């Protein structure tokens, strides 16, 4: 990893910050603190449209290089998610290297907050995997450049219900495009992963009368959710072979790949998981060729980002929900554009996002 002292950070003598030279990113810094054991990378991909907002992920990466690759990929994705959602935000992300269950404490999060603060607002952090609203409270004690703080502190709290609502809107738009009708009543929908987002999505779909099948590696949780919503359960080995209309990945990335695409019998893929396509270029095209309408993940799962964005200017939940509802129109527009141009839907969405950034530059 090539590093140099960072020129655009304050208090660099107190905080050990090294700039990592990466082409295509505006600023990437490695942050280390011996006292707390903090090792983190903050990546600012692009701030053309506004400050780079993106969550902090804590993960037991096997090497600094793995952590760097992850933060670069995720921060780039945030740039396009913000741009396609019409937000005045750029893309950034942070990763903390370590086990969030055993290595995370108040001191570590406060120190991380100091590093975020040293970037003078060009990066705004939020929750991601391995983080909680409590952790954001600790970060908040050191910097104002943080979102996703608890509702009791005037923040926007858990973004998952808003994310799920956006996914639901995107799914309905895909139905309208594919079937000429956005009614999901009696449609057979598989939700993979009924966690924070998946459960909220299940609630919307159940209310509309869809026939939902659920899958989750946590069997006890799966059974509880099944009882709560009277949803059918599918077991792991055969989920991609089920006779369904819509597949909603709400657990992991990369579940849309040549193996699963060849097995899936659905018309639509629309879910919350980030990076659903194992290989963006190859798998978007495979979906197109098979006639599966893929609702781009970074477009339809942007509700959570829209929600935390609202926190910057004083949180207004109604406004967040209204803006998230617009995912319906945006998705429809992009699916039509992709169809007219004969290109994969994820390419069409990326094209518009990139155009918005380059128009701002002119």
Q: Which residues bind ligand NAD (CB under 6 A)?
A: 159-160, 163, 192-198, 215-218, 221, 250-252, 272-274, 301, 304
Residue 33 vs 159, nearer CB to ligand NAD: 159
List Cβ neighbours of 2 (8 Å cut-off, separation of 6 or more). Answer: 20, 21
Closest CB 200 distance from ligand NAD, rounded Å = 8
From 19, 81, 93, 187, the catalytic residue: 93
Distance separating alpha carbons of residues 63 and 181, to the nearest angstrom: 48
Residue 110 vs 124, nearer CB to ligand NAD: 124
93 is catalytic: yes
Distance separating alpha carbons of residues 91 and 56, to the nearest angstrom: 12
Residue nearest to ligand NAD (CB): 195
Closest CB 195 distance from ligand NAD, rounded Å = 2
Distance separating alpha carbons of residues 145 and 140, to the nearest angstrom: 7
Residue 121 vs 253, nearer CB to ligand NAD: 253
Residue 176 vs 275, nearer CB to ligand NAD: 275
Q: Are 153 and 137 in contact (CB under 8 A)?
A: yes
Query: Locate tokens 């655009």: which residue?
Result: 8
Phi-psi region of 186 (alpha: psi -120 to 50; beta: other; left: phi over 0): left
Residue whose C-alpha is closest to residue 154's, from 137, 130, 138: 137
Closest CB 89 distance from ligand NAD, rounded Å = 14
- Cα 183 from chain centroid? 26
Closest CB 250 distance from ligand NAD, rounded Å = 5
What residues are annotated to the active site?
Answer: 93
């Amino acid at each position: 990893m090539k590093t140099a002292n960072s020129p655009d950070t304050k208090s660099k003598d107190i905080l050990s910050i090294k700039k990592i030279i990466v082409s295509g990113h505006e600023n990437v810094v490695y942050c280390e603190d011996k006292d707390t054991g903090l090792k983190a990378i903050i990546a600012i991909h692009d701030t053309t449209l506004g400050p780079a907002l993106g969550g902090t992920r804590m993960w037991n990466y096997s090497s600094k290089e793995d952590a760097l690759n992850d933060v670069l990929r995720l921060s780039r994705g945030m740039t396009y998610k913000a741009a396609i959602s019409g937000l005045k935000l750029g893309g950034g992300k942070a990763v903390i290297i370590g086990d969030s269950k055993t290595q995370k404490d108040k001191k570590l999060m406060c120190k991380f907050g100091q590093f975020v603060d040293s970037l003078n607002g060009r990066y705004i952090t939020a929750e991601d995997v391995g983080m909680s609203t409590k952790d954001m409270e600790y970060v908040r004690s050191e910097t104002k450049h943080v979102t996703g703080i608890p509702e009791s502190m005037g923040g926007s709290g858990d973004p998952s219900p808003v994310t799920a609502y956006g996914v639901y809107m995107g799914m309905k738009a895909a139905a309208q495009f594919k079937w000429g009708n956005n009614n999901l009543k009696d449609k057979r929908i598989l939700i993979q992963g009924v966690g924070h987002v998946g459960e909220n999505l299940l609630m919307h779909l159940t209310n509309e009368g869809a026939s939902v099948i659920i899958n989750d590696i946590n069997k006890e949780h799966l059974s509880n959710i099944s009882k709560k919503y009277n949803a059918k359960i599918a077991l792991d080995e055969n989920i991609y072979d089920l006779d369904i209309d819509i597949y909603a990945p709400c657990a992991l990335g990369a579940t849309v790949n040549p193996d699963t695409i060849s097995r899936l019998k659905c018309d639509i893929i629309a879910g919350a998981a980030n990076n659903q396509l194992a290989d963006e270029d190859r798998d978007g095209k495979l979906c197109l060729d098979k006639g599966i309408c893929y609702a781009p993940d970074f477009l339809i799962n942007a509700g959570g980002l829209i929600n935390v964005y609202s926190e910057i200017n004083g949180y207004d939940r109604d406004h967040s929900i209204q803006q998230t509802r617009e995912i319906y129109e945006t998705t429809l527009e992009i699916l039509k554009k992709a169809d007219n141009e004969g290109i994969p839907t994820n390419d069409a969405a990326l094209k518009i996002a990139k155009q918005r950034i380059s128009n701002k530059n002119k």
